[in-house]
Amino acid sequence: MFGIHELWLFALSGLLLNITPGPDTAYIVGRSIQLGWRGGAAAALGIGFGCLLHIVAAAVGLSALLAASAAAFTAIKLVGAAYLIYLGVQMLLSKPRGLAAAAATPDAVPRCDISLRNVFWQGALTNALNPKVALFFLAFLPQFVDVEAPHQGLAFLVLGLVFDLNGTLWNLGLAAVAARAVDRLRGSGAMLRWINRALGGLFIALGVRVALLQR
């Protein structure tokens, strides 16, 4: 279909790549810990939306431009790195709200004061501003499309959607597991503060790593 071959191998390879820890995983786990299942799900869906932008770009050839242009790659890389560092600083400085309520109500879980809409868009930007994702689609998708296929752009789009769907389902499961695990930390504002600091430090480190990324 559309010149796609070995779809099963593509789906399996994509799933293995999706479960590899990275900035997306860190963001989903962090928001699940801070905001529970709904926060983690919003992060997962945001990352899936950001991935769609890369899929469309690959289908129309913009990823090829990114790979060919050193200036474009550097610009996206630095913007993405700055955004990851910004998120990390936010997490370091954030204060869990509801600590007084948690002390009065043992079943209450301290949460960070951020809307689910912001979580969604931050997740989308975390993925969309990662140049490695664009280059991944450029290098990975063509391996599963016939070079003489009449509708290669459509084939890239279908493969990208399969990859994104698998990744989103995995990320939603990850959010559920992380949110369930943090239920054991109910009422522990001090623990949540340390988790925020650890995640903030991780995001800053990831931002520095992206900034040092070489083509």
Q: Where are the domains of the chain?
A: 23-211
End-to-end CA distance of the chain: 33
Q: Give start and end residues of each alpha helix (H) in 94-188.
A: 99-104, 116-128, 131-140, 152-182
Contact 26, 202 (CB under 8 A): yes
Give the span between the Cα atoms of 186 and 105, in whole angstroms. Answer: 10
Residue environment code for 182-204, b if the CB has 16+ CB neighbours within 10 A, otherwise e: beeeebbbebbbebbeebbebbb
The one-character DSSP state at 105 is: -
pTM, full prediction:
0.69
Provide the residue-wise pLDDT of the chain in tens; the chain has 215 residues. 666 777 777 787 777 777 767 788 888 988 888 888 899 999 999 999 999 988 888 887 756 666 677 777 677 678 767 877 887 787 777 665 443 333 333 344 444 557 889 999 999 988 888 777 777 777 677 777 775 666 667 888 888 898 899 999 999 999 999 888 776 655 555 666 676 677 778 778 877 876 776 65
Contact 206, 23 (CB under 8 A): yes
Contact 58, 138 (CB under 8 A): yes
